[in-house]
Amino acid sequence: MFYDSLPFRAVAADVLLAVENGQSLSQCLPYALSQLPPEQRPQLQAICYGTCRWFHRLDGELNQRLKKPIRKPDRVIHHLMLVALFQLRFSEQATYAVLNETVEACRALDRPHLTGLVNGVLRAAEREGAPQPSDDSSRYSHPVWMVEKLRHNWPDHWQAILDANNTQAPMTLRVNALRFSRDEYLKLLTDAGIGAKATRFAPFGIQLERPVPVDYLPWFDDGAVSVQDEAAQLCTTLMDLQPGQRVLDACAAPGGKTCAILESCAELSEVIAIDESQDRLPRVQENLDRLDLSASLLQADAADTEQWWDGQAFDRILLDVPCSATGVIRRHPDIKLLRRESDIVPLAGIQLGLLNAMWSILKPGGRLVYATCSVFPQENHRIIQRFLKQQEHAQLIPIEASWGLDMDAGRNLLPDPNSHDGFFYAVLEKPDA
């Protein structure tokens, strides 16, 4: 589709259709943004993210208002109306502009026969106001299976998790300790007129009062800071990094944790970063270059050690496994549309397989930090429990920390609207031979 010839609402509808068909926003939105005038790009991004965030509530309302579903070849118009409903319910856009321009977008999408339907549905929605949500899926705007799974796994926290997922995450920075102390960089931000405060748990973290373009951050291009959530920054506090160690960052892209490792201890013997995706490794190198850091990058399946491992065991391994990403929904609301309950069991199999593979290349006396950005126990402490039953000599190191909830086999952070994402950590050590 030629986005440069379409109104931005039509572009947003097509992007959302792509998400429904299995593409993430990070896959399909950049191209769409590149085709629009610069002044329209922030609005397009806000609409796509916002409509995904509130998709299940908006979709429930729209389905109530339609006498019958829109046929599949015209499905983009269903998403066009979702975009309009999002603007009616959650933006300050003038109502007349939303109605008129959505009808014009319907014509631009070559569906003039549906303009009457679009106009009628949206005018009724504007006149009647938003209906009361009929169930928890609509109320919290999450798929039914996710609501029920969270209710079961976190009976005391499920509503808070769902509410947190619907907030906009703060912008958090990690100060490059090789360049500045946190207090020094906070002063630079103050001098630049950027409100900020130190994070509660991450020792080099800074949370901004409001997001800003990275170009506004002092010395960003020169490697002073990186954008990284507070929960993700905690990995280096658990690794006990020491000079001379050989360190592996498995499943490393986009490289934030690789860089954090290198910043935390400048005298490491070697850092190797592996990722299965060849397309994602250049991003890791870009981050290393900006921070003036060096690591060996490998494209490989970390679990297939025969493919890439040189036989030298590692002193430290960070294993941030592929997961459901249910702890970072507030940053990636399309996860609500893309993730399926049937994904969890296969993911758990991959996670346990990776953990066993990494254990085999960990040096006696070495430490492995297991991490996910999930809030589901099946991917977190239950994986560690299964692993400990298989590896009877593995030692689980208790995490003594003021953050997260103690799960007996690791600690789980739940998403906090005013702070960190949802994350899980466990620390394992291999006894000396």
For the annotated catalytic residues, the residue numbers are 373
* Pairing status of strand 314-320 against strand 196-198: unpaired
Cα separation, 135 vs 328, in Å, equals 23
Cα separation, 146 vs 200, in Å, equals 29
Instruction: Give the full edge-to-edge strand order of the sheet including 196-198.
Output: 196-198, 205-208, 172-175, 225-227
| C-alpha 361, offset from chain centre | 29
**231-263 burial, b for 16+ CB within 10 Å, e for fewer?**
bbbbbbbbbebeeebbbbbbbbbbbbbbbbbbb
**330-341 burial, b for 16+ CB within 10 Å, e for fewer?**
bbbbbbbbbbee
Q: Which helix (H) or strand (E) holds 10?
A: helix 8-20
- The CB-side HSE value for 153 (13 A sphere, CA atoms) comes to 22
* Pairing status of strand 270-275 against strand 246-250: parallel
Closest CA to 176 of 291, 318, 294: 291
Cα separation, 410 vs 378, in Å, equals 13
Cα separation, 323 vs 326, in Å, equals 8
CA 233-239-244 angle, to 5 degrees, is 120
Closest CA to 81 of 15, 147, 9: 9
